[in-house]
Structure 1
Amino acid sequence: CKVDLAFLMDGSWSIGKRRFKIQKEFLAEVAQAISVGVAGPMMGIIQYDDPVTEINLKTYSNSREVKSAIDKIVQKGGLSNVKALYYINKHYFSDANGNRGGAPNVAVVLVDGWPTDKVEEASRLARESGINIFFVTIEGPDDNEKQNLVEANFVDKAVCRTNGFFSLPVASWFALRKAVQPLVKRVCDTDRLVCSKTCLNANDIAFVIDGSSSVGTGNFRTVLQFVANITREFEISDTDTRVGAVQYTYEQRLEFAFGQYNNKAELLNAIKHINYWSGGTSTGAAITYAAEQLFSKSKPNKRKIMIVITDGRSYDDVRAPALAVHRQVIAYSIGIAWAAPDELEYIATDPDKEHSFFVDEFDNLYKFVPKIIHNICQEFNSQPRN
């Protein structure tokens, strides 16, 4: 269960000392159940209304230390004001606090009754920056109290709409202990933590690289630098973005598969060491090969992106293979020098102007990196993820 897990605990006066103590006991039991450790889950705590970090992610490296620190937490008071969600989004999951990058960020909000402020916008911003928001609501409002709600259906608005997976209603404070195991099971289910993904950590990206004779050794190095520059922008790990690469001439060669390199340094090193092949140009066959060798092994919750880089007209048909992959893959075409404009359009997903690029010289490839990243992110953010 490798997650970076933060709890927002309710420190408002309305819950009283006894229930605050029950909350601390619940957090101590969670720490015990997930087995905190540097190779697994790291756990931190923020107390709100006025958010204050009680425990950083990196402060304690085992459950016993976390439990001992929870014991010492003192109730701060205030309202049940969940503006702390803005705080975690801006400040908490930072490298300085011990955020590890390759581990999913999870925030569990404990609320007594209901929040005294609106949570929808703060939660949405947190989710869009990749934080998985869970709400544990204890003793929600009864029928008489519902008129006091600041935001009706606040839980539904705060979490990803996935059949109650991200919300856990608890009937009473004394039943809170029963929520430990169900909650731990959910926060550790990294395959389900897909709703709160960002454009930089949600993809399987395949580079299909022209290694034909017309490219030449020096230009091939420039292409590899371009591939590395795009890759560098993404968060790389087995649970984040994964990258694979195929080089082709008349034939095709799998350089590395998705998940073969699960950290950025190893991946960039593998790209750098791809050997130039030299030969003809069969781009259509290469697209089919990449679909079979890479995307057939793609994870179902990943966005599938293919980036084809070529400097000439293909000896075979690209249209049929491109149409076939468009059903499951977002395809980008990058043409250089003698690449054929009509083929670049066939390869690219519609609209072409967002997915197809052309440069006269290899040395100008680098200019497209920000545009490609921008387009990938814009497309991702326009898709409904609730």
Structure 2
Amino acid sequence: MKSCFGVLLYCLSFFQVDISESYNVKDASQILAQSNAQRRNFGNLPNARLPPRTSNSSHCRSRPLDLVFIIDSSRSVRPGEFEKVKIFLSDMVDTLDIGPDATHVAVVNYASTVKIEFFLKDHFRKENMKQAISLIEPLAAGTMTGLAIKKAMEETFTEQSGARPKSKSISKVAIIVTDGRPQDQVGEVSAAARASGIEIYAVGVDRADIGSLRLMASNPLDDHVFYVETYGVIEKLTSKFRETLCELKAEVVQDPCHCEARLAFQRQTQNYIQDLNAKHILSFQKVEQMMAHK
């Protein structure tokens, strides 16, 4: 019986050596050493470039949209706060590709009345659009959010106003920014807007009613409802919307030494041998236990 166990132990040892030699390594530490050496060599290549980071703005452009901002300028929004909303809109414009064949932008301003500040067809240069945003004035009293959504749906998301026809499959997106509770009904009109193909994002600030935001927004709600405590931090949403509205166009960068492929292979090899070593040790322990009971 002991001779059988000896043969088994010999076979296990031979199997481990065979696997290690097939990968041209002696143990996991050698893999790590090779991996570190290749990292150093790769970093010293004169023209070496790592694969692109997708968060780099130079590799990212917004997908074409028909985008309408619907902004609350009711009495509860103080003048300084409204200026921060305008900065947010301006920053958003900077993240987008604006143009006849790219993204079209409109702004709907509302309080107790609704004013279309400019249509989707009005501005195709960022400078002109940002200038128009800077001239927007608050409307003061009231919070007729439902009326604003209805007017946006009927008067801005139309081909006459610069929206593309359905045949072009351009996404229609509305971003609503409000800090209060609507004084009219928003559920039915929002449902009609969504049914017409408009994707709605609802941004609540400070005293905004979360229930109303959820009634307005598209599903899934976790992706379409946002809340910030003050207008002072609303600009933080710019990067969030940029991720949402952005279509990554990362260029393909060649790996001149194939270092990334080698490192990936070595990591896989290391994991495999570590797993094999663990199984090997477990087998020895079981054999020792069996021999101890003989």
Shorter-chain TM-score tier: 0.5 to 0.7
* Residue matched to 2:262: none
Q: Alpha-carbon deviation of 1:296?
A: 2.0
Counterpart of 2:198 in structure 1 is: 329
Q: How does 1:64-143 map to 2 (within 5 A)?
A: none
**Higher-RCO chain (CA-CA 8 Å, sequence separation at least 6):** 2
More helix as a share of residues: 2
Residue 267 (structure 1) aligns with: 129
For residues 315 and 202 of structure 1, what CA distance do their matches in structure 2 show? Answer: 33
1:269-296 Cα shifts (integer Å, max 9, x gaps): 1111111211100101100101111102
2:101 is aligned with 1:232: no
- Structure 1 residue aligned with 2:223: 354
Aligned residue type for 1:325: A
How far did 1:326 drift? Answer: 0.8
- Give the root-mean-square deviation of aligned CA atoms: 1.9
2:196 is equivalent to residue 310 of structure 1: no
Residue in 2 that maps onto 1:252: 114
Match of 2:187 in 1: 319
Are residues 1:299 and 2:168 paired? no
- The alpha carbon displacement at 1:376 in A equals 2.4
The amino acid of 1:248's aligned partner reads Y
Contact 1:216 1:278 (C-alpha < 8 Å) held by counterparts: no
TM-score (norm 1): 0.46
Structure 1 CA distance, aligned partners of 2:77 and 2:144?
Answer: 14
Amino acid at match of 2:189: P
> Residue 215 of structure 2: SS of its match in structure 1?
helix
User: 1:276 matched to which residue of 2?
Assistant: 138
Measured against aligned partners, the alpha-carbon deviations of 1:73-99 in whole angstroms (never above 9, x if no partner) come to: xxxxxxxxxxxxxxxxxxxxxxxxxxx
Alignment of 1:90-239 (within 5 A): 200-239=62-101
**Residue pair 1:200, 1:235 contacting (<8 A) in 2 also:** yes
Structure 1 stretches of 4+ moved >2 Å: none
1:362-381 to 2 correspondences below 5 Å: 362-377=231-246
Which whole-Å CA distance do the structure 2 matches of 1:250 and 1:347 have between them?
Answer: 18
Query: What letter matches 1:255 in structure 2?
Result: E
1:312 maps to amino acid: G
DSSP-derived class of the 2:246 partner: helix
* SS at structure 2 position matched to 1:212: coil
Distance 1:308 1:228 in 2: 15
Checking the alignment, whether the CA contact within 8 Å between 2:63 and 2:246 is kept in structure 1 is no
- Alignment partners' CA distance in 2, 1:377 and 1:356: 18
Secondary structure at the aligned position of 2:176 is classed as strand
How many residue pairs get aligned? The number is 185
Identity %: 29
Instruction: Give TM-score, length-normalised by structure 2.
Output: 0.60
Q: Structure 2: which 5+ runs fail to align?
A: 1-57, 250-294
Q: 1:151-207 CA deviation, whole Å, 9 max, x = no partner?
A: xxxxxxxxxxxxxxxxxxxxxxxxxxxxxxxxxxxxxxxxxxxxxxx8614111000
DSSP-derived class of the 1:349 partner: coil
- 1:264 counterpart letter in structure 2: K
Partner deviation per Cα, 1:22-67 (whole Å, 9 max, x = no partner) = xxxxxxxxxxxxxxxxxxxxxxxxxxxxxxxxxxxxxxxxxxxxxx
Q: Is the 8 A contact 2:202 2:213 kept in 1?
A: yes
Give the drift of 1:234: 0.6
Partner of 1:343: 212
C-alpha separation in 2, matches of 1:212 and 1:267: 23
**Which of the two has higher C-alpha Rg?**
2
Structure 1: gaps (5+ residues): 1-128, 131-197, 382-386
Q: Does the CA-based 8 Å contact 2:173-2:198 persist in structure 1?
A: yes
| Contact kept? 2:106, 2:117, Cα under 8 Å | yes
